[in-house]
Structure 1
Amino acid sequence: MELPLVVGVDGSEFSLQALDWAVDEAALHGLPLHLVHASRWERYEGGRPSLGTDRPTKEELAGHITASSAERARLRNPEVRVSSEVLPDDAVTALLSAGREAFALVTGSRGRSELAGMLLGSVSLSMAGRATCPVIVVRGAGLNQRGTFHRIVLGVGDTTEGSAAVRFAFREAEVRGCPLFAVRAWRRPAHEHVDHPLIADDAVQVHEDQASAVLTDALNQAVRDHSRTVWHREVIEGPAHKVLLNKSADADLLVVGALRQHGHSGLQLGRVIHALLHHSDCPVAVIPQRA
């Protein structure tokens, strides 16, 4: 069964950016594109057809949004198979439902109903934290120059050996024919005080070597599976969120993994992923994975 790439549409500028990005992504992977718009109007109609000739305003708006979005997608790439539907639910519930059988969920950084001053909309944040499939939040200053950087960045955390995030990042680099940059950030513990300069140098080397070992373990299997993909490894000292935000400035996509919480339906997004979702200069893919 070929899973579709699902994108949420609501007519906002952020939604249109996400739609354009999703069309290009679907074309790269040869996937069908499924557009989802959430609307509650059917609840108030009780699921029965209206006896009058006038359609409810919310139904008209929903139909216009899906039709115009589908037409935009077809004009951008006529070869991408496009379908659409209006789900009688709130945006979070509708998209989570559609994401149960999806290659990935694509959403804009904000929607029509979000406050202008918000860095990330509540729907996008809920998707990233609760979806069972990869979620790609389309954001960043470089959207108008999509693909010009020709690089994918993978943030490697503590438990990514053979992880879904690593596999996803390698696939994205492979279909684009671009290099992958795998990044592992490290910091010397704040409580570690070493006065002698030679011992201090040794301590720094130990932490850097440990970070390098984690990176090696994380990439081993994917490197064997994607032998034609050009990849680079970077071990960088500094807070992970700052290191990855700096890397997002010249990347087409930033990929990170999020652990499933034991006994809970959500993911452990953590400080790093929250920072990336709010401030990244490129789209961010959050990939669910198990510890």
Structure 2
Amino acid sequence: MTPIVLGYDGSDFSVQALDWALDEAELRRLPLVVAHAWQWPYGDAADEDKAHLRKAAEHVLWHGAECARSTGAGVQVTTDLYEGPAARRLVELSADAALVVVGSRGLSELPRRVLGSVAGYVAANARCPVIVVRGPGPLPAPVNPGPVVIADDEPDDAVLGFAFGEAAMRQLTVAAADPGRIPARPGVEVRAAREGETATLLVVGRAGRPVDDTLVQHAPCPVAVVGG
């Protein structure tokens, strides 16, 4: 079975991503791969120094996997430890994944220019849908969850399929700025997006244009980037 891949770095931000990834794995009845990457940032180093850093990375990965196993309801959890850039590894794993889930720190402009955005890079280059989950800490469980919102004016089949699939699994409606242009699919209501409402998930297409890093970094809800 194709897995859900979670990018996990031990931060509070990746806790939200872990919650969402577990949700997806349970709803889709798929296994979960918890992935963590590490690299020595200071040039040449003694093997002993690198071993200490690798040991720390192994602990981070172990912690993420244990959190997933203790929280997930029957989800099979495996791990992937990689020496090198996290963004590159997540894109590699996306080739055989149903979905990649990553957290986003919502960096300000200067740090984003210096460090780049792992979430933005993965969203733009992955071979499968990517969900970017923003903010630290566990995801709150809303009493009245909002709709799955299609952000594209002219969504392609990949965006429509993903949005309606998520809405059906979560028993939510689909909302769009112009619902008349979106054919309804069985069992899922389509309606107009309402100003000021909080969406459960925003779905945007990747095909034919660059991914908007501002959207990925600053959207008020998780963002799914879908398509080729």
TM-score (norm 2): 0.84
Shift of 1:56: 1.0
Query: Quick check: which has more Rg, 1 or 2?
Result: 1
The answer on whether the counterparts of 2:13 and 2:137 sit within 8 Å (CA) in structure 1 is no
Alignment pair present for 1:176 and 2:162: no
For 1:89, the aligned partner's letter is G
Match of 1:227 among 147, 168, 186: 186
Alignment pair present for 1:253 and 2:212: no
Q: What is the distance in 1 between the residues matched to 2:64 and 2:200?
A: 23
Gaps of 5+ in 2: none
Shift of 1:141: 8.8
Q: 1:156 matched to which residue of 2? A: 152
Q: What is the distance in 2 between the residues matched to 1:141 and 1:73?
A: 17
Q: 1:207 matched to which residue of 2? A: none
For 2:87, the aligned partner's letter is V
Shift of 1:182: 2.5
Q: 1:72 matched to which residue of 2? A: 67
Shift of 1:4: 0.6
Match of 1:277 among 201, 209, 216: 216
Identity of aligned residues (%): 35
**Local SS of the residue matching 1:255:** strand
Q: What is the distance in 1 between the residues matched to 2:104 and 2:163?
A: 21
**Local SS of the residue matching 2:95:** helix
Greater per-residue helix proportion: 1
* 1:228-261 superposed Cα distances (whole Å, 9 cap, x missing partner): 12x233278xxxxxx7xx45xx22111111224x
The total of aligned residue pairs comes to 223
* 1:74-104 superposed Cα distances (whole Å, 9 cap, x missing partner): 1112411111010122111111101111111
Gaps of 5+ in 1: 185-211, 237-242, 261-266
Moved over 6 A (4+): 114-117
The answer on whether the counterparts of 1:119 and 1:278 sit within 8 Å (CA) in structure 2 is no
TM-score (norm 1): 0.67
